[in-house]
Amino acid sequence: MTREKIQNIQSLRGVAALSVVLFHLVIIEKKYGGSTPLLHCLFQFGMWGVDLFFVISGFVMITVARNKFKVHQHAFIFLYRRVSRIYPAYWFYSILVLFVFLISPGWVNSSQGEPMNILASFLLFPSDQLPLLMVGWTLIHEIYFYLVFFFILILCPERHAPRILFIWGLIVLLLNVGLNFNHPALNVMFHPMTLEFIGGCFIALIYFQTPGRASARPLIFTAGLAILLSLTGYGCYHAITGHIEPQHWWRVLIFGAPAMVIVFCLTHAERKGWTAHWSLVRLGDASYSIYLSHLLTLSAMGRLWQPFSLDSIYDNAVMIPVLFITSIALGMISYQWMERPLLKFCRRLA
Per-residue pLDDT reduced to its tens digit, 113-130: 456 688 999 999 999 888
Q: Mind giving me the DSSP string for 104-123? A: -GGGSSGGG-S---HHHHHH
Rg (CA), the chain: 20
Q: Is the pLDDT of residue 67 over 80?
A: yes
In tens, the pLDDT along 314-329 reads 788 888 999 999 999 9
Half-sphere exposure of 49 (CA within 13 A, CB side): 24
Closest-CA residue to 8 (of 165, 212, 294, 149):
212
203 vs 163: CA distance, rounded Å: 14
Number of Cβ atoms within 10 Å of the Cβ of 115: 8
> What is the pLDDT, as a whole number, of residue 225?
95
Closest-CA residue to 133 (of 108, 110, 152, 158):
108
Quote the percentage of the chain above a pLDDT of 70.
95
> What is the pLDDT, as a whole number, of residue 78?
93
Helix (H, G, I), strand (E, B) or coil at 12: helix
Q: Which residues lie below 8 Å from residue 254, measured CB to CB, with a gap of 6+?
A: 48, 230, 233, 234, 237, 246
193 vs 269: CA distance, rounded Å: 26
Q: What is the domain partition of the chain in residue ranges?
A: 7-349
53 vs 142: CA distance, rounded Å: 10
> What is the pLDDT, as a whole number, of residue 113?
47
* Position 3 confidence tier, pLDDT thresholds 50, 70, 90: low
Averaged confidence pLDDT in the chain: 90
Task: Indicate the DSSP class of residue 338.
Answer: I
Taking each helix axis from N to C end, the angle separating 313-334 and 7-32, rounded to the nearest 10 degrees, works out to: 140
> What is the pLDDT, as a whole number, of residue 4?
61
Q: Is the pLDDT of residue 350 over 80?
A: no
In tens, the pLDDT along 70-95 reads 888 889 999 999 999 999 999 999 99
* Position 31 confidence tier, pLDDT thresholds 50, 70, 90: confident
